[in-house]
Amino acid sequence: MLSARTVLTRTARLSNARLNSTLVVAEHDETKLAPITLNAITAAGKLGNDVSVLVTGANAQKVAEQVAKVNGVKRVLVAQDDKLKNNLPERVAPVVLASQKQFNFSAITAGSSAFGRGLIPRVAAKLDVSSISDITQVHSADSFTRTLYAGNAVKKVKSSAAVKLLTFRGTAFEPAKEGGSGAVEKAPSADIATDTSEFLGQELSKSERPDLATAKIVVSGGRGLKSGDNFKLIYELADKLGAGVGASRAAVDAGYVPNDMQVGQTGKIVAPELYIAIGISGAIQHLAGMKDSKTIVAINKDPDAPIFQVADIGLKADLFKAVPELTAALK
Ligand code: FAD
């Protein structure tokens, strides 16, 4: 039989556990939330706890209000401070740690982007636990599937850490939709050191085309295009389809296109509804960045090109003939 004291202790533990919540650290540009945070909120919801979101920045309040409307978000913590402008991981980490101290989250998470990958391991080190990156499936609160070698291998892992530090691969989870009404409150104050890192600037490429990482259709070109000028065939087709434009690393290395267009292991990971690979052989490092696309179309003159093994629709043809024909047919 349980003594009254034991029952009381258990009740206290249970209510403490119920207060536990998963924290998602939001990524944004001071005006709008990055789409990957919506994927991370969906993934965080699968851990079985309430979802809280921390929004840090010099203009965090506006983004916090957007986050509060996301389905499944119970609480939004806002840390608005000029020191947090551009959300340098060195400066966001103390805010996450202060929030952890106050709320005792059972998991601290973010999207697997440069932001999440810079922040989460840093927080993990401070909490003396390991972080798990690039999660593609959540099986339970402590068991996950993650990708290794940029998606060419998967591994199921179990974590016994008291607090799980996780990053989620955006393309593996649906974005959370609108429909929530989370409470917005101030994040606990933190000591943010400003002498260890400084934001010097960033160069963002501007494009009228949809963002490669989130476009529903992506048209990518490879070394088969033979020159940067010939990439206009890819742009014309993409513009007809309202698509984002990607490239293989060989095309980037040859200087045909800038490197922010690279898809693959060392480039962007995409999973659009439709991926059209043109003059791309289908090296494993390229496949790592696009093989989760819903429908893959390949145009290649070599019938043995490995891209045809993953393609749903393959066209063995000379791209210089087939692509203009395809673009014209879409008129
Ligand atoms: P190629 O392999 O040269 O293929 C060109 C294709 O075009 C061929 O299949 C050919 O049949 C076809 N072709 C040629 N002419 C025509 C025509 N007229 N009509 C139709 N088809 C034609 N690669 C990436 O893409 N992304 C990465 O992130 C990446 N990361 C890497 C990381 C590491 C560590 C390493 C070692 C490699 C990485 N690579 C990456 C490089 C990768 O191994 C390949 O070299 C690269 O993907 C090849 O690019 P490609 O398919 O455009 O070129």
pLDDT tens per residue across span 260-301? 999 998 899 899 999 999 999 999 999 999 998 999 999 999
Pocket of ligand 1 (CB under 6 A): 222-224, 248-251, 262-267, 279-281, 283, 285-286, 289, 300-302, 305, 318-320
Rounded average pLDDT over 112-129: 96
Task: Tell me which long-range contacts 301-310 makes (C-beta under 8 A, separation of at least 24).
Answer: 301/224, 305/281, 306/281, 306/282, 307/277, 307/280, 307/281, 307/282, 308/282, 309/282, 310/282
Give the Cα separation of 116 and 121 in Å (integer): 8
Instruction: Identify whether the C-beta of residue 275 lies closer than 8 Å to the C-beta of residue 297.
Output: yes
In this predicted structure, the answer to whether residue 11 has a pLDDT above a threshold of 50 is: no
Please identify, by atom number, the ligand 1 atom nearest to the C-alpha of residue 264: 28
150 falls in which pLDDT band (50, 70, 90)?
low
Taking alpha carbons only, the member of 278, 36, 63 closest to residue 187 is: 63
Taking alpha carbons only, the member of 172, 163, 155, 156 closest to residue 43 is: 172
State the amino acid at position 239 in one-letter form: D
Query: How far away, in angstroms, is 244 Cα from ligand 1 center?
Result: 19
Query: How far away, in angstroms, is 166 Cα from ligand 1 center?
Result: 32
2 falls in which pLDDT band (50, 70, 90)?
very low
149 falls in which pLDDT band (50, 70, 90)?
low
202 falls in which pLDDT band (50, 70, 90)?
confident
Binding site for FAD: residue ranges?
A: 223, 248-249, 262-266, 279-286, 300
Binding site: residue ranges?
A: 223, 248-249, 262-266, 279-286, 300
Taking alpha carbons only, the member of 49, 72, 22, 51 closest to residue 178 is: 72
Q: How many CB atoms lie within 10 A of CB 129?
A: 17
Query: How far away, in angstroms, is 245 Cα from ligand 1 center?
Result: 16
Report pLDDT for 206: 75
In this predicted structure, the answer to whether residue 303 has a pLDDT above a threshold of 60 is: yes
Could you tell me where the DSSP H helices lie in the chain? 4-19, 35-45, 60-68, 89-103, 114-127, 232-241, 249-253, 284-287, 307-310, 319-329
In this predicted structure, the answer to whether residue 152 has a pLDDT above a threshold of 90 is: no
Please identify, by atom number, the ligand 1 atom nearest to the C-alpha of residue 222: 52
In this predicted structure, the answer to whether residue 331 has a pLDDT above a threshold of 80 is: no
pLDDT > 70: percent of the chain: 93
Structural domains in the chain, CATH included, are 16-186 (3.40.50.620), 217-329 (3.40.50.1220)
In this predicted structure, the answer to whether residue 133 has a pLDDT above a threshold of 60 is: yes
52 falls in which pLDDT band (50, 70, 90)?
very high
Mutate to test the pocket of ligand 1, among 149, 219, 220, 223 (most ligand atoms within 8 A of CB): 223
Bridge partners of 166, per DSSP, are 109, 132
Rounded average pLDDT over 140-164: 87
